Structure 1
Amino acid sequence: MPLYEHVFIARQDLSNAQAEGLIEHFGSILADNGGKLVDSEYWGVKTMAYRINKNRKGHYAFLRTDAPAPAVQEMERLMRLHDDVMRVMTIKVDKHDEGPSVQMQKRDERGDRRDRR
């Protein structure tokens, strides 16, 4: 099955438990349609570059999935209809990277930046 990575932004006035509950909810939608949630990360509340629906901040979540295209389309459709989800981005990838995403790594572990002098 194809591999996908999803990032979605939920409203800022949700609690952390409710935002993490959305991850489980959309993972179960995938499972019901023949896919599986490989990994998920809750990135926390972050400030956005511009307002979305009068919100300056949002709960960010990252999902790695292994699912057929119809299951992904159904999950995206339900995300767009959900009142708490403001934005969704889905990317098809060739393989999932091992370990945490770049957003969850510490600055010291990244190693892709040179020293400023």
Structure 2
Amino acid sequence: MTLDPYYETMYILRPDIPEEEVESHVTKYRDMIVEAGAEVLDNQMRGKRRLAYPIAKHKEGIYVQLSHNGDGQQVEVLEKAMRISEDVIRYLTVKQEGPLPAPRVVPGTEAPEPAQAAETPEPEAS
């Protein structure tokens, strides 16, 4: 059984940009993937983290992970836009082989865990 490849792009934004601008960048890159004819599988904001080494005189960065599925043409479009942007200090796209990432569960819509369901007493038959 062969599994379709998908792509994961991790990019780091400058730590000094406002939260609204971070959201606009996330939306812009997600929409760019869709406009290129690909499908966005997952988009995760990893938050502000300390960098292993300074990049463009920054010691921290805002990490964002974007998983997408397509023919590969969307990668060139996405990386060109990131290369031009002054707010993106580093990016990397990796082609993944294997099962597609499981969709994240949105808080508030979680199904009960099996351990909780097992604790519910069942009525005894007499």
Is the pair's TM-score, using the shorter chain for normalization, greater than 0.5? yes
Deviations 1:45-101 (A, max 9, x none): 11101110011111100011012211111111111111100100111112323255x
Aligned ranges 1:1-117 → 2 under 5 Å: 2-94=5-97, 95-98=99-102
Deviation at 1:32, TM superposition (A): 1.1
Please give the alpha-carbon distance, in whole angstroms, between the structure 2 residues aligned to 1:51 and 1:63.
23
After TM superposition, the structure 1 stretch with the greater mean CA deviation from structure 2, 1-10 or 51-60, is 1-10
Would you identify which runs of 4 or more consecutive aligned residues in structure 1 move more than 6 Å? Answer: none
How big is the alpha-carbon RMSD for the aligned residues of Structure 1 and Structure 2? 1.5
Q: Which runs of 5+ in 1 are unaligned?
A: 101-117
Q: Which runs of 5+ in 2 are unaligned?
A: 105-126
The structure whose Rg is larger is 2
Please give the alpha-carbon distance, in whole angstroms, between the structure 2 residues aligned to 1:23 and 1:37.
12
Q: Could you state the TM-score of these two structures normalised by the residue count of structure 2?
A: 0.73
Q: Could you state the TM-score of these two structures normalised by the residue count of structure 1?
A: 0.78
| Percent identity (aligned) | 26
